[in-house]
Amino acid sequence: MRIYHDMTEWSRLRQTLPSDLSLGFVPTMGNLHRGHASLFQRSIKDNDATVVSLFINPTQFNRADDFTHYPRTLEDDLELLTQAGVDYCLLPTEQVMYTDGYHYQIQENHQSQCLEGTARPGHFTGVLTVVMKLLQLAKPHRAYFGEKDYQQFQLIRDMVNAFFMNIDIEVCPTIRETSGLAYSSRNNRLTPEQRQIADQFATIFHKDQSCEHTIAELEALGVTVNYVEDHRDRRFAAVTIGDIRLIDNYALNVRDVA
């Protein structure tokens, strides 16, 4: 795997790649787990080459302590990427990503006004802005996102269409532990007791019952419920266990966990 710290050097290489070579891209914030690995595998299967970025994007954290506590596991991440068979890894610095001082932003004013957008002011502006920048750098044919962050996937897909960017945005299924808990970088921060509660959150959230019943069961468990809501054909949830915020969602007609 070739690692690029210098984006000018990467852009030079990118220009030399044959135009008929299909390039898949998976943007990440590192602290990689099986959920990410499934995105790399899918990109490797679909494309001639795969590029992954590791960049902990400060502008999408609405709480400074969340950014500070985000796990930084670069060595393990590079090992996982190499084992997975990823071809290129981009490691841009904050200085390079935000040479403009974050004066230019991508702001969505419709679909981002609910769920995570309401709960985390500024979050999606940070996500869309950094993804736009990363797509401009990587110049992929396809980019891969997890279903776990479904609202993020929808916003990125629609941004790419709105700005006539010729990139296929693909969504890959949520990867779950045996308990049904979705893999997330935040799971590593749960204490063993919180972990058990998180497993129960997954079970309760997937029960075939109303949002109100789910909220009541979760609250009885001692979980702080941010929201459990149905939007179109999907159910979404965000909860806080201790100080760890977890999100999940699933299609209402296709249950992936009993």
Give the binding site for ligand PAF (CB under 6 A): 27-29, 57, 60, 127, 130-131, 149, 152
Which of 39, 37, 47 lies closest to 82 in space, CA to CA?
A: 37
Q: Is 210 buried (19+), middle (13-18) or exposed (0-12) by CB count in 10 A? A: exposed
110 classed as catalytic:
no
How far apart are CB 135 and ligand PAF at their closest, in Å? 10
Strand partners, 176: 182
How far apart are CB 60 and ligand PAF at their closest, in Å? 6
Helix (H) or strand (E) holding 235: strand 234-241
Residue type at 56?
I
Cβ distance to ligand PAF smaller for residue 108 or 149: 149
> Which is catalytic among the residues 36, 69, 110, 213?
36
Cβ distance to ligand PAF smaller for residue 151 or 226: 151
Q: In what order do the strands lie in the sheet with 142-146?
A: 2-4, 88-90, 49-54, 23-28, 142-146, 168-172
How far apart are CB 127 and ligand PAF at their closest, in Å? 5
Q: Tell me if residue 129 falls in helix, strand or coil.
A: helix
Cβ distance to ligand PAF smaller for residue 28 or 50: 28
Distances (CA, A) of 158 to 34, 43, 210: 26, 20, 30
Reading the block at residue 235, the tokens are 């159910």
Contact assessment for residue 55 and residue 96, using Cβ atoms and an 8 Å cutoff: no
Cβ distance to ligand PAF smaller for residue 35 or 215: 35
How far apart are CB 174 and ligand PAF at their closest, in Å? 12
Cβ distance to ligand PAF smaller for residue 57 or 112: 57
Active site residues: 36
